[in-house]
A and B are shown apart, each in its own frame.
Chain A
Amino acid sequence: MNQGLQFDDTGRLRHLLTTEGLSRQTIVEILDTAESFISMGEREIKKIPLLRGKTVVNLFFESSTRTRTTFEIAAKRLSADVINLNVSASSTSKGETLLDTIRNLEAMHTDLFVVRHAESGAAHMIARHVPAHVRIINAGDGRHAHPTQGLLDMFTIRRHKGAFEKLKVAIVGDILHSRVARSQIHALKALGVAELRVVAPKTLMPTAVEKLGVRPYTRMEEGLEGVDVVMMLRLQRERMQGAYIPSEHEYFNLYGLTPAKLSLAAKDAIVMHPGPMNRGLEIDSAVADGPQSVILPQVTYGIAVRMAVMALIMGGASTSRESGMRDSASKARAPTERKKRK
């Protein structure tokens, strides 16, 4: 469904708007490329010249220091010039439309926009209207997609669990409002997980969610039974006002991840969370800080995955739905490898 807009005429990834429609091959290519960047953070000089001379604008219509920072670090490590714009506080408050904002920034010869917006579809809309040479990475749009988060979650799972085909995965929490969950679902389906469950009260479960290829559970104990990966979601506290759930206390009792509930999963199950966490609401500190938690590594991997995405859509490397995968991955990795040889 999204292939037309995300890929160019030759089948190369042009924008990253959603994980929906990404082939297994493309996702694996992104993860492989990220793997080649992962050690960079430990080096003394954390920079490669892949995006030298390129201008990256972090265009955030919705505030998010954490995500914006990871994109900023990723772009800077690729040697791009990075500008951060918090648009909610400037142009839109003066009545400028979203497209006007984009067109003005385009006139400043931006090469890549990293866009976060509170409305689903904002990144698609922008991607439809920018010139062919400009790239868009969706850094979260409404409830729709947060593809780099989904991909870094895949990276985390692959690092800790290896192959996807035998995994049982549960995504727990506010599925209804979660762009992270949607991105995880599409990516996990593309990677061929054995079983994918979503766990939430009916008030936070989207209608017809099973059409996304998941099995819905309303009782957490049943949803966690034997799973290899538990992906917790953040619950916005304003959901209490919307009559989605009666109280934090009751939500934690029913859907909070405690050591007791985690014990129903596989013994070596990993626990993930996109952050920031609400301890005592969706997750118990004993789990968040426990041995099965991979929540902090997720943050570390996030930079490598975002570098990989930027490199692949900007750096002359190519992803292809059908072919050219090996070629593009090697191109993307080339600068790193050259550096290693030095």
Chain B
Amino acid sequence: MSLVIQGGHLIDPANNVDGKKDLFIDDNGFVAGVGKAPSGFRAKKTIDARGRIVCPGLVDLRARLREPGLEYKATIESEVRAAVAAGITTLCCPPDTLPVIDTPAMAQMLQSRAWRFGLAFIHPLGALTQRLEGKLLADMEALDEAGCVGFTNALSPVTDTLVMRRALEYAATLDLTVFLHAEDPWLRNGGCVHEGEVGTRLGLAGIPEAAETVGVARDLALIEQTGCRAHFCGLSSARAAAMVAAAQKKGLPVSADTTAHHLHLTEHDIGDFNTQCHVRPPLRGKHDREGLRKAISNGTLSAICSDHQPHEPDAKLAPFARSEPGISALETLLPLTLRLVDEKLLTLTEAIALLTHKPAEIIGVETGHLGIGATADVCIFDPETRWTLTEDKLVSRGHNTPFLGQTFRGRVTHTLVGGKLVYETPKI
């Protein structure tokens, strides 16, 4: 259905659009005009966006939907509903499902099940090694054909450096992007928090910052040798971000992201064993958080992602080390990023770029912008609405977030995927 989004402040960083402009969407769900209607255009529907920001639908590089295999935590349906309620229209899913996404059938099944709901676009990341065991390479070409936008061993480390070298070499052969969770498993040594002041006070086994930097150093050496295009996922330390910056300066084909929560929380937020702050990589010290913020503002990190990991309540009702790591984070991705704008770390345009076309470029998918002819994935939000995150407001089945009770500014009012209105704020 053709429609016009009228009177909003359109921000489309990829196309250098930042101003009050109407957006015209044709019957097929593509952008037909920006600012002025194409000739003969007749809108069947109008969305009044006065006082709101209109931007491309958000692109989240890492979200677990828990299906298949862990449906007691969440399902594709529950989580894509949460995604669109948060303005997210494209999601990348890591392969650590049950079974693992290491066959074309699994990749296709995930996409077809997601598309059945007609909500957000789902792009799987294929397994780098079979069953994520770090021993034999997965069928990357077949997985690529089946729609995988990148390859990763998720949080299962490829401990054998030779296997890692060959995985990167093979991916480079096929011009594929490898997503890396850099962490030396030996230095991690079963830790569950940052090795620092809070871990020492609480007697929790620590993961030293060196576990991440050693992992990044190893992988950078192999990237340089193999020429593979690589993306570092969820960096947590200032030093790792600086190493990526140096590699980029050297011309290596590397990008990196961090999570919204690592930009706001530190180890001190764990307080007295708050398992909602149990995440992997762990929340680190203030110095690291500042380093990540700097890397976001200077462009070293080119995406902010949710790293959404919904859990059932019991997963967090355990002693800290035995609780499951992860935050239900789709619905705080935009609000936490807007908080960086309030804190003057980013302009609104920069913030939106980190959530839209920049992550889209990393996965090589034609989305994240609203140029003429682009698929009309659109997020409309009211930047001034203040709201408090409560359990009943969460659409995700996972209520595991340390941000419950916090007040945010900026609330999604409409989400369109392929020109179709898939979310509209319920009328109060």
Which residues of A approach B to under 8 Å, CB–CB? 1-2, 4-5, 20, 97-99, 117, 119-122, 124-125, 129, 141-145, 179, 182, 206-209, 211-212
> Closest approach, in angstroms, between the C-beta of B288 and any C-beta of chain A?
13
Determine which of B196, B201, B208, B319 lies in contact with A122 in the assembled complex, contact meaning CB atoms within 8 Å: B319
B195 within 8 A of A: yes
Known: A1-B271, A99-B317. A145 touches B203 (CB 8 A): yes
**B321:A119 contact, CB within 8 angstroms:** yes
Q: How far is the CA of A141 from the CA of B272 in the complex (A)?
A: 13
Contacts of B203 in A (CB 8 A): 120, 141-145, 179, 182
Quick one: which of B312-326 are within 8 Å of A by CB? 314, 317-322
Could you list 11 examples of A-B contacts with CB < 8 Å? A4-B272, A97-B317, A121-B273, A121-B319, A125-B275, A141-B203, A141-B319, A142-B321, A144-B203, A207-B199, A207-B200
**B319:A142 contact, CB within 8 angstroms:** yes
**B320:A120 contact, CB within 8 angstroms:** yes
Contacts of A124 in B (CB 8 A): 272-273
Q: How large is the interface on B (under 10, 10 to 19, 20 to 34, 35 or more residues)?
A: 20 to 34
B234 within 8 A of A: no
**A1:B272 contact, CB within 8 angstroms:** yes
Chain B residue, CB-CB nearest to A17: B272
Q: How far is the CA of A218 from the CA of B197 in the complex (A)?
A: 19
**B319:A98 contact, CB within 8 angstroms:** yes
B1 within 8 A of A: no
Determine which of A1, A5, A117, A182 lies in contact with B319 in the assembled complex, contact meaning CB atoms within 8 Å: A117
Chain B residue, CB-CB nearest to A208: B197
Chain B residue, CB-CB nearest to A18: B272
Chain B residue, CB-CB nearest to A175: B200
**A120:B204 contact, CB within 8 angstroms:** yes
> Closest approach, in angstroms, between the C-beta of B268 and any C-beta of chain A?
10
Q: How far is the CA of A167 from the CA of B332 in the complex (A)?
A: 51
Contacts of B317 in A (CB 8 A): 97, 99, 125, 129
B202 within 8 A of A: yes
**B321:A208 contact, CB within 8 angstroms:** no
Chain A residue, CB-CB nearest to B285: A208
**B201:A211 contact, CB within 8 angstroms:** yes
**A97:B319 contact, CB within 8 angstroms:** no
Contacts of A182 in B (CB 8 A): 201, 203
Q: How far is the CA of A85 from the CA of B273 in the complex (A)?
A: 25
B206 within 8 A of A: yes
Most chain B beta carbons < 10 A, residue from A2, A99, A143, A212: A143
**A144:B200 contact, CB within 8 angstroms:** no
**B272:A2 contact, CB within 8 angstroms:** yes
Q: How far is the CA of A325 from the CA of B195 in the complex (A)?
A: 38
Known: A119-B320, A125-B317, A211-B197. A144 touches B204 (CB 8 A): yes
**A121:B200 contact, CB within 8 angstroms:** no
**A208:B200 contact, CB within 8 angstroms:** yes
Closest 10 CB pairs of A and B: A143-B203, A144-B203, A119-B319, A121-B273, A206-B200, A122-B319, A120-B203, A121-B320, A208-B197, A211-B197
Most chain A beta carbons < 10 A, residue from B202, B272, B322: B272
Contacts of B319 in A (CB 8 A): 98, 117, 119-122, 125, 141-142
Chain A residue, CB-CB nearest to B194: A207
**A5:B272 contact, CB within 8 angstroms:** yes
Contacts of B322 in A (CB 8 A): 119
> Closest approach, in angstroms, between the C-beta of B91 and any C-beta of chain A?
31
**A212:B321 contact, CB within 8 angstroms:** no
Determine which of A4, A119, A142, A212 lies in contact with B200 in the assembled complex, contact meaning CB atoms within 8 Å: A212
**A143:B314 contact, CB within 8 angstroms:** no
Q: How far is the CA of A142 from the CA of B202 in the complex (A)?
A: 9
Q: How far is the CA of A333 from the CA of B367 in the complex (A)?
A: 74
Chain A residue, CB-CB nearest to B193: A120
Contacts of A212 in B (CB 8 A): 200-201
Q: How far is the CA of A145 from the CA of B271 in the complex (A)?
A: 15
Q: How far is the CA of A120 from the CA of B208 in the complex (A)?
A: 18
Contacts of A121 in B (CB 8 A): 202, 204, 272-273, 319-321
Contacts of A208 in B (CB 8 A): 196-197, 200
Q: How far is the CA of A179 from the CA of B200 in the complex (A)?
A: 10
> Closest approach, in angstroms, between the C-beta of B284 and any C-beta of chain A?
12
**A209:B200 contact, CB within 8 angstroms:** yes
Q: How far is the CA of A129 from the CA of B199 in the complex (A)?
A: 23
Known: A1-B272, A5-B272. A125 touches B202 (CB 8 A): no
Known: A124-B273, A144-B203, A212-B200. A207 touches B321 (CB 8 A): no
Chain A residue, CB-CB nearest to B192: A120
> Closest approach, in angstroms, between the C-beta of A149 and any C-beta of chain B?
14
> Closest approach, in angstroms, between the C-beta of B278 and any C-beta of chain A?
10
**A125:B271 contact, CB within 8 angstroms:** no
Contacts of B272 in A (CB 8 A): 1-2, 4-5, 121, 124
Quick one: which of B155-200 are within 8 Å of A by CB? 195-197, 199-200
